[in-house]
Amino acid sequence: MANMKVSVYVTLSVEPTEKHQDAMRISASTRTDDEASVSVSTATDNSKTLVAEFTVPKARQMDVVDRIVQAFEDFVPDSIDFSASFPPSEAEARKAARALERAKAKRAAARKARKDPDYRCFICGKRTKLVKTGCCRKWICDDERKYALFSYARTSCHRNHDRYTLCAYHHDNGHKGDWKTCPACREAFKDQVEMFVWYGTNEYNWERLPDPPTYKPTTCAKCGGVIRLPDGGYSYGRDGYVCATCKPNPFV
């Protein structure tokens, strides 16, 4: 069973003697899960304070601290003050040390990155809280966590590049070579040339598609007006695309 360390501090009204130390050991033995873990010493900053250190079964500290301290109140004579602390275990200390090292390394990497003349979001130009894209390895705002789910807002630089560019599509689908000349990307969008062109030329790209193919504009099946597919707001059914104006209202 997992356990945790506890240190109990008992301040006496007199200088401690052997009977006080024995009482500390007895108190600790009533709460510990390992008799061998019990040790009693005098606090370095107060000769009238005894410290008992031992292990107890792992639990929420707030659930066990009162019972632990009560044992010492019941057994230790001449006691006037009690407190307890839960020092981290060796495993917890190692975990904390690793976390600290990771944080230091992250800060060092950030300092080094800021010296890079290209350390600037290639979409909005900001120079803070940046990360490199997974596809083209260019600096971009680390802001995707700010995106509100199902809002479809285009306020996140990171999400815009990741969702709306051929660069990211090419990388995410494991295509080989340069996305600008990739035949697999063109094949995937052969029935959506307008979207292919937009994905390759919009402002969310680091590089843009040279010589994009021409395409016939998408028009509304009812009014004949031009529909710009990247902007959304249309519907698609058996008659084809219908613009927002002609789209039937489901609540009428």
Inside any domain, residue 95? no
Cα-based angle 239, 245, 246 (whole degrees, multiple of 5): 30
Mean pLDDT across the chain, nearest whole number? 92
Question: Is the distance from CB of 8 to CB of 84 less than 8 angstroms?
Answer: yes
pLDDT digits (tens, 9 = 90+) for 104-128: 888 888 888 888 888 999 999 999 8
User: Which pLDDT value is given to residue 1?
Assistant: 63
Render pLDDT for 34-91 as a digit per residue (tens, 0 to 9). 999 999 999 999 999 999 999 999 898 889 999 999 999 999 999 999 999 998 877 7
Please identify, among 87, 122, 151, the residue that sits at the C-terminal boundary of a domain. 87
Does 96 fall in a domain?
no
| Residue at 243 is within a domain | yes
Residue 116's pLDDT is 86
Structural domain range at position 19: 3-87
Domain membership of residue 206 (yes or no) is: no
pLDDT of residue 146: 85
Residue 165 resides in a domain:
no
Neighbours of 21 (CB within 10 A): 16
Q: Is the pLDDT of residue 252 over 60?
A: no
Residues 6+ apart with CB under 8 A from 56: 3, 4, 6, 31, 32, 33, 64, 68
The three-state secondary structure class of 57 is strand
226 lies in some domain: yes
Query: What CATH number corresponds to the domain at position 36?
Result: 3.30.70.100
Residue 50's Cβ-count burial label (10 Å; 0-12, 13-18, 19+) is buried
pLDDT band at 195 (very low <50, low <70, confident <90, very high): very high
The domain tally of the chain equals: 2
- Residue 230 maps to a domain: yes
In angstroms, rounded to a whole number, what is the distance separating the alpha carbons of residues 75 and 62?
22
Q: Is pLDDT above 70 for 17?
A: yes
**Cβ–Cβ under 8 Å, residues 203 and 173:** no
| pLDDT surpassing 70 at residue 179 | yes
